[in-house]
Amino acid sequence: MEVPLIVSMRAFGYRLAYIGAVLIVLLNSWLAYRSLHTFAASQQWQAHTLETLTACEQLVAEIRTAESAARGYVLQADPFLEKQYNDAINRVWDTFEYVGKLTEDSPSQQARLPKVRERIQARLTSIEIGVQLRKVQPTAALTPEQLAIMMTDQYRYGDFTTAYAIAQVEGEERRLLKWRDAQVTSARGSAYTTFGVATGLNLLFLILAFHFLGKEVTARDRITAQAEEIRALATDLEKRVQERTYELQTSNQELEAFSYSVSHDLRAPLRTIDGFSLALYEDYGDKLNDQGRDYIHRVRNGVQRMGQLIDALLQLSRVTRTDLVRETTDLAELARSVAADLKASDPERNVRFEIPGTPVLAQADPRLLRIALENLLGNAFKFTAKTPNAVIRFGSYPGDGANVYFIRDNGAGFDMQYVDRLFTAFQRLHGDRDFKGSGIGLATTLRIVRRHQGRIWAEGKEDQGATFYFTLGS
């Protein structure tokens, strides 16, 4: 009687383990689905906030367009400029309504919008006065008092400006963006944790199930059936993995196509603006005063800067998606090549590069590391432009578990209280008049280093140079 009882108890224990495993798998699947749902929802809110910020920036741009067209009309009485002005006014209010729609979920933002509308209306009213004066006197020269209405600071109206009103809305959205960025990070971590715990628990119960199967000699047929079921699950899982991999590849291809389309669609109007502004300068430059020619130069400079920003954003996007191919790479040789290119770009510069003559080897993707060194050495080259006897040094030293590589210069440096802003896209610690740049280079470098499982940091003092350090994981 004892042997059948023992066999029965083993069989009962096996059944309990199997039932427990199924329940845990179902629970883990539900938790994983919930984590992914939370992650996706957080990303949607993050995208919504970015869309609202973009709409606010577009609203400012449309107001600028209306002001510029109105000024041109007042000065030239050109019907084309009047049409541009009227179209811009319509777009201003369309964009304002769009901002209102995007912020319907935020009572605090809705409370700010009436003040924004009031400031916009006040500014547009002051512009409209000049336009109507020109319509009444299409050929006569306007008085200085009349022109002053149009030539004042483009956002200044009373003590509370249009720009400040819109900036308040943008400030709230940036606060929401920071909070939602934290939510996305938290949701991503929660999803990873859930999948990790689920995998561990599933493996534990599978081990227990196979343990009971090994003990249950009389249940070989059942073991075979379970093995077949497990193989079927593995096949289904592999199929799902293949499907998800295909979906991910398709998504990346669509993102690449989207990036190209955005770049192409943005470049087309830029080329038009650049071409017509050049033609305007060449054909009518002698008929314009110095201020008019300066406006044309500013337009062309803005177009060129926009083109550079598009190129920088595309490079930042490609760095994230490109395949990482590690191989033995001589960073010193890459640094010497980049330094030679920098010297060739400005032969008149008096700058000395100090780069080791011996190899500095690392397991890294040479193409991505060249981009990183171009950004770091290029920054050092740029920010030593006003430094006599400029010196830029590249080197390395053994760190805690990994080699540390550095680029040091004796240039403009920076205030350490703003160091957290260095590697954020479009964040610049120096004015564009002093040092040109897109604000994308260090953000791109950060992504390259992170893709190599490394880290990057910086130290510096104002007017005493800066040093950028980075590591590369194995």
Q: What is the pLDDT of residue 456?
A: 92
Half-sphere CA count of 348, side-chain side, radius 13 A: 2
Work out the percent of the chain whose per-residue pLDDT is above 70. Answer: 74
Q: Dump pLDDT digits (tens) for 289-298.
A: 888 888 888 8
pLDDT in tens, 377-406: 998 998 898 888 899 999 999 988 889 999
Q: What is d(CA 312, CA 368) in angstroms, rounded to the nearest whole number?
A: 14
Banded model confidence at residue 315, pLDDT cuts 50, 70, 90 = low
Full-model pTM: 0.41
Cα–Cα distance between 70 and 107 in angstroms, integer?
Answer: 34
Return d(Cα 338, Cα 273) in angstroms, integer. Answer: 34
Nearest residue to 367 (alpha-carbon basis) of 397, 396, 338: 338
Q: From 314, 381, 377, 366, select the one nearest 472 (Cα to Cα).
A: 366
Least confident of 298-302, 307-311, 385-389, 466-470: 307-311
> Is a pLDDT exceeding 70 seen at residue 25?
no
Q: What is the DSSP string of 39-103?
A: HHHHHHHHHHHHHHHHHHHHHHHHHHHHHHHHHHHHHH--HHHHHHHHHHHHHHHHHHHHHHHHT
